[in-house]
Structure 1
């Protein structure tokens, strides 16, 4: 047997007599829950070499940063100050070794007092740096080829005569000259 639905007035009376269930609370924010754990891990492990890499030039200065990069921070199991491994390009290692105390004091200012007690220098190419060559370096390395003789120059212009003037024709002319010069040089 079907029950009839209550009217609006009856529904208001029913709801007035019964207490409704409260809405569930929203979950706590993840940042608030993880903050104590992150603080504890930061105290235990610190910022490490990644924190140093990001601000290396500010910490040690531009002159030293051009020749070095922090490789890793090794913390002993027994506790105590860590060892900072610094990658240095070839002959600069002797200069950096003489500045080791200054570098360690600057790193300790960044990481906290007594964080680094030893500096280990590793010679090798810097991984994070890309050497920029002078714009004319490629031109200086390349030997100057002799100019193209008049007959080959005329043939080149005749072959490219049907192309309209513009950047494409100029590029193809330069390319043709270079190819013909190299063929002349080889023979």
Structure 2
């Protein structure tokens, strides 16, 4: 047999013995939804975990309460999820008093009926959360600071040194 006839015979043999391609079912609807929802949820902290919720916490709680509270975890039940929030003592009671609007905002973000209850766990207040204002300098201290800066001629330098001096003197106070 010549080469051409051998190639034809080999091709006919392979075509008759070749297997059919594997049947692959159509992708599920969940896969299609996932392809659409993933890009949309990237900027919104997508997911229903407490960690993912931390990204949008200021939007949900507002600037006042988001500084002193944080989501801890979700506890699931048959009726819905309970969100556990950590907040310092007095704020915990106020957050519980405003729980209905908070649950509504959570469900607007996570989906209707996702959160049914809030539970606030009291935590210690950190130094950044405490709103104790620093008192200013006494008139005598301010006068001493101005006297020590009287030799400085440049106004920009004088203002910077005064600001630094006030900061140092306030930090030394109990």
Q: Give the Cα separation in 1 of the matches to 2:114 and 2:12.
A: 67
1:13: which partner in 2?
8
Aligned residue pairs: how many? 122
| Structure 1 residue ranges (4+ consecutive) displaced by more than 6 angstroms after TM superposition | 26-29
Offset at residue 71 of structure 1 (A): 0.7
Say which is worse superposed, 116-125 or 6-15, in terms of deviation.
Answer: 6-15
Q: Give the Cα separation in 2 of the matches to 1:17 and 1:130.
A: 83
Structure 2 residues without counterparts, runs of 5 or longer: 35-46, 130-163
Matches within 5 A, 1:146-165: none
1:62–1:104 Cα change, 3 Å: same
Offset at residue 25 of structure 1 (A): 5.2
1:138–1:125 Cα change, 3 Å: farther
Q: Which has the larger radius of gyration?
A: 1
Which string of whole-angstrom CA distances, capped at 9 and with x for unpartnered residues, describes residues 27-49 of structure 1? 899xx57946x98xxxxxx8232
1:54: which partner in 2?
55
- Is the contact between residue 73 and residue 82 of structure 1 (CA under 8 Å) also seen in structure 2? yes
Q: Give the Cα separation in 2 of the matches to 1:34 and 1:101.
A: 34
Q: What RMSD over aligned residues (CA atoms) do the two structures have, in Å? A: 4.0
Q: Give the Cα separation in 2 of the matches to 1:125 and 1:117.
A: 26
1:26–1:54 Cα change, 3 Å: farther
Structure 1 residues without counterparts, runs of 5 or longer: 1-5, 40-45, 144-187
1:33–1:112 Cα change, 3 Å: closer
2:106: which partner in 1?
107
Q: Give the Cα separation in 2 of the matches to 1:107 and 1:25.
A: 46
SS state of the match for residue 12, structure 1?
Answer: helix
2:155: which partner in 1?
none
Structure-2-length-normalised TM-score: 0.52
2:171: which partner in 1?
141
1:50–1:28 Cα change, 3 Å: farther
